[in-house]
Amino acid sequence: MNAEDAERRGGRARISREAPAPRAARVRMFGTRVRVSGTEARATGTAIRAGGAGVREDRAGVRLKRPSVPVDGTVVHRARAPARVVRMDAETIPMAERRIPRADGDFSAYANSYYQAVEKFWSVQGLDPTDLKPLKDALSAWNAAYPKHIAARNAAEGARQIKDAAKRELERQIRPITAFVQSYPKTTDADRATIGITVKDTGATPTPAPASRPLLLIDAGSRLTHRLRVFDESAAPAAEGRAPRKARPRGTLGAEVYLAVVAPLAQPPADPAEYRFVRTVTGGAAEVNFEPPQGGARAAYLVRWVSATGEPGPWGETVTATVAA
């Protein structure tokens, strides 16, 4: 492009197909109209449509890319001229399409609103309503299926909660039974394997039977309830005037508690076989509850330590207490 072909300010500039533009030429455009003949030039970040259409310039500057392009067999080098972003006509700017929601609840509301709007549009425009029948049938199928899905999901969630609660309760009942079976003196490893509880490893050195005896304190102040505290005879008192700290000998599982209920003035049985097993106390404290007819009777306790492998130690002294009615 020469000086006769371009007016630098306020005029019109035309790029000729025959004369290539100089490599280093810079053309500044201020409020001009630029016509591109027979080709299409793309600026970085925007597009300028060709075909002789005039476009109006805006403020922001955009630099054209440098590679050469063939125009009717003539190589034309694009100049590094600052161009201005154009303001396109309204009909050439595509509007963003409203996206269909993905969440089921949002989709259901959108679909019903969409059909109502489309149906009204069809009526206003006088279009054939049978064209909307496939859309209407699909919407009806959705409106029938979606509530059923919600109901089934809520039912499944309710069933899951009931199942989880039943599982927790069953586990709560399994644990004390397992603890009893594990600590019961007559339980064998074959019994444990049959029941499906832990069979202790017998390959290591067996834990010896406890050598010390447990001592027992009873709080009988509550109605039909005895609160037991078990500690070892070798445990020193925590402080003067207070009971010894609750501790079991090393290597023991806990203390087995056996009970015999006798008349208020009767002597407790001398034979341990006449006592019934109540529970194994592992935490140093426990409660024993009685039936109302047993109120006023005398409860006799025998306690002994049991090792982790089920080996029992010697019996402690018999301790008695009245059952408060």
Q: pLDDT tens-digit profile of 235-285?
A: 755 555 566 666 788 888 899 999 999 999 899 999 999 999 999 998 888
Pairwise CA distance, residues 212 & 39, whole Å: 105
Pairwise CA distance, residues 159 & 82, whole Å: 70
Sheet strands (E) in 52-123:
56-63, 69-71, 74-76, 82-87
pLDDT at 135: 95
Q: Which pair of structure tokens corresponds to residue 277?
A: 């097993």
Closest residue by Cα to residue 213 from 243, 246, 179, 249 = 249
In DSSP terms, 74 is beta-bridged to 71
DSSP reduced 3-state for 199: coil
Cα distances from 131 to residues 118, 121, 151, in angstroms, run: 11, 12, 33
pTM across the whole model: 0.39
Query: Residue 248, class by beta-carbon neighbours within 10 Å (0-12 exposed, 13-18 middle, 19+ buried)?
Result: buried
- Summarize pLDDT for 44-70 with one digit per residue, the tens: 444 444 444 444 444 444 454 455 555
Pairwise CA distance, residues 180 & 281, whole Å: 10
The model's confidence at residue 233, banded by pLDDT at 50, 70 and 90, is confident
Q: Of the ranges 19-33, 100-114, 120-134, which one carries the lowest mean pLDDT score? A: 19-33
The model's confidence at residue 303, banded by pLDDT at 50, 70 and 90, is very high
